[in-house]
Amino acid sequence: SQQGEEDPQALSIQEGENATMNCSYKTSINNLQWYRQNSGRGLVHLILIRSNEREKHSGRLRVTLDTSKKSSSLLITASRAADTASYFCATALYSSASKIIFGSGTRLSIRP
Amino acid sequence: SAVISQKPSRDICQRGTSLTIQCQVDSQVTMMFWYRQQPGQSLTLIATANQGSEATYESGFVIDKFPISRPNLTFSTLTVSNMSPEDSSIYLCSVDRGDTQYFGPGTRLTVL
């Protein structure tokens, strides 16, 4: 079963705008990871944030984590057509850090 | 990171038959994971495969339907047995490297 839910389920924005996706989860975690998947292909790892971290940056990506609210957000700034993909959060449980559980995903479309 | 390959990349099979999917990693790993992604859905963990021991299956998945082999530290197979159209999915293997999980390109299975 899914550990978390993501919202929105689908997001369509204009190229150049920022995209924000949210992830909520249910149990205590060791870390949270964000992945991108293009058209049903393999997953590309984007960024990992540990439970003791609150914010992390990687290029145009910014991830926040609020463990008190059991939620995370992924911000993509200055979006490009190539950012069109599905984005998934995945949580490594505190009790079993090697096993990760995926959220429901957000389908992001960037309009040219 | 990790370099992971899967064979076959895709297949179309008849109901009632079985398909074995191979996963090869570029270096030794303790645990390998198998996921299923049904059309339009997120990823669901099928089982965790440790070398030298039986795989651990998640709720809803059984060994008779999804037998797994792990003959060495760089290789694993997942068999989808007695297939039905409901088994049409993308099957992905993954490994963890440090805190991060890396995924293979996936095997797209269609059952007619």
Q: How confident is the model at residue A2 (pLDDT cuts 50, 70, 90)?
A: low
pLDDT tens digits, one per residue of A18-43: 999 999 999 888 899 999 999 867 89
Structure tokens at A85: 């993909």
Instruction: Classify residue B84 as exposed, middle or buried by CB count within 10 Å of its CB (0-12, 13-18, 19+).
Output: exposed
pLDDT tens digits, one per residue of B73-93: 999 999 999 999 999 999 999
pLDDT tens digits, one per residue of B37-78: 999 899 999 999 988 888 999 999 999 999 999 999 999 999
Q: What is the DSSP letter of B87?
A: G
Please give the pLDDT value at position A94. 66
pLDDT higher than threshold 80 for residue A98: no
> How many beta-carbon contacts under 8 Å exist across A and B?
52
pLDDT tens digits, one per residue of A59-90: 999 999 999 999 999 999 999 999 999 999 99
Cα separation, A28 vs A19, whole angstroms: 27
Tell me which chain B residues have a C-beta less than 8 angstroms from the C-beta of A2. 42, 44
The DSSP line for chain A is: --SEEEE-SEEEEETTS-EEEEEEESS-EEEEEEEEESTT--EEEEEEEETT-SEEEETTEEEEEETTTTEEEEEE-S--GGG-EEEEEEEEETT-TT-EEE---EEEEEE-
Cα separation, A13 vs A27, whole angstroms: 32
Residue A51's Cβ-side half-sphere holds a number of Cα atoms within 13 Å equal to 17
Q: Are A104 and B42 an interchain contact pair (Cβ–Cβ within 8 Å)?
A: yes
Least Cα distance to B5 among B27, B20, B30, B23 occurs for B23
Q: What is the mean pLDDT of residues A44-48?
A: 95
Q: Which of A1, A41, A88 sits opposite B105 (nearest CB)?
A: A41
Please give the pLDDT value at position A42. 84
In chain B, the residue whose alpha carbon lies closest to the alpha carbon of A41 is B105
